[in-house]
Amino acid sequence: GQPGGDRAAAWIADKFKSYGLKPLGDKGSYLQKVEFKETTATQDTSFLVGDQMLVYGVDYGFLPQNNGNKNVSGEMVFVSYGVQSKQAGINMVEGVDLSGKVVVMTQGPPPGFPEPEWDKQKANMLILMSLVSARAAAIVIIGDGENEHPPEELISYFSRRQLSLGDEQGYPPQVPPFIYVSGAGAENLFAKSGITLKQALEQGTSRAFKPVDLKQKAKIVAKYESKKVTSSNVVGYLEGSDPKLK
C-alpha cells in the first residue's frame, strides 16, 4: 500500500525472472494483487486524565486499532497485575466493582514469575478477559520497567497506520478499548492518588496488594478512518524436469 512496497515487489519480480522462475501472478505477471484495509487514528482521538490531555503516539496508543471507534469515561482504579488466584491466595481486584471503571494495570509477568511460564499459561489474555467480563469501561496498561517490549515500543508501533486484510473482522462492539501508556504518561494517572507511580508499582508486587483508587476520571475517545489499499504478492514457480508432472 506504499510506493516503497511497490518498488520492492517489482525488484523481487525482476529477481524471479532472472532466476528463471515462471510467473504465477495476475495476467501472466509475477505480481498478485492483494487488497488491504488501512486504518489510522484521526485528530479526534484523545485521552483526558482529569484536566491533563495526553499526547497520542507519545504518551499512549491503542491496541489494536480494529477494536473500532470508542467514546468512554470512568473513574480510574489501579489493579497492579490484575492477578486472581485462589490457589495462590492472591486477588488484586478484591473489593472493587470494576464495571464502568477505567482499569489501570501493570504489564506482566510479575517479578519472580518466569516469563516463559507466564506466556505458556496465556496469563495476560486470561487477565484481560476477566477485566472485560467485569465490564471495565477501558483497560489501560503500563510498564513496570522490566518488560521485554515496554509500552513505549508498542505505542510507537501501534500509533502508526495499521493494515489488515480487507475482509478481516474487528472485535465485538462490547470489547472496551485497550490503551498502552508510557512511563511519562503514567505519572499523570497517579497524580491525585496520594502515591507516586513508583510507589504504586512497588506496592503492586506484594501478594497482599489491594486496588488503589486513583481519584481521577479519564475520558477516552478512539476515532479511526479506514480506506482500501492494494499491494502485491510476488509469485513464481520453478518448473520441474519430470514430463509426467508438467
For 76-97, what is the mean pLDDT?
A: 91
Dist. CA 244–CA 104, nearest whole Å: 64
- DSSP conformation class of 69: -
Under 8 Å CB-to-CB from 246, ≥6 apart: which residues?
A: 239, 240
pLDDT digits (tens, 9 = 90+) for 177-206: 999 999 999 999 999 999 999 999 999 999
Q: Quick check: 10 pLDDT over 70? A: yes
Buried b / exposed e over 144-159, threshold 16 CB at 10 Å, is beebeebbbebbeebb
SS3 label, residue 55: coil
Cell 465485538 belongs to residue: 172
Q: Is the peptide bond before 243 cis (omega within 30 degrees of 0)?
A: no
pLDDT digits (tens, 9 = 90+) for 17-51: 999 999 999 999 999 998 888 888 889 999 999 99
pLDDT of residue 165: 76
Please state the separation of Cα 71 from the chain's center in Å: 17
Cell 524436469 belongs to residue: 241
pLDDT of residue 240: 79
pLDDT digits (tens, 9 = 90+) for 112-162: 888 888 888 898 899 999 999 999 999 999 998 887 788 888 898 888 888
Tell me the pLDDT of the chain averaged across its residues: 89
The helix (run of H) or strand (run of E) holding residue 61 is strand 60-62
Q: Quick check: 60 pLDDT over 70? A: yes
SS3 label, residue 57: coil
pTM above 0.85, yes or no: no
pLDDT of residue 66: 64
Q: Quick check: 173 pLDDT over 90? A: no
pLDDT of residue 65: 63
Using 50, 70 and 90 to split pLDDT, how confident is the model at 246?
A: low
Using 50, 70 and 90 to split pLDDT, how confident is the model at 163?
A: confident
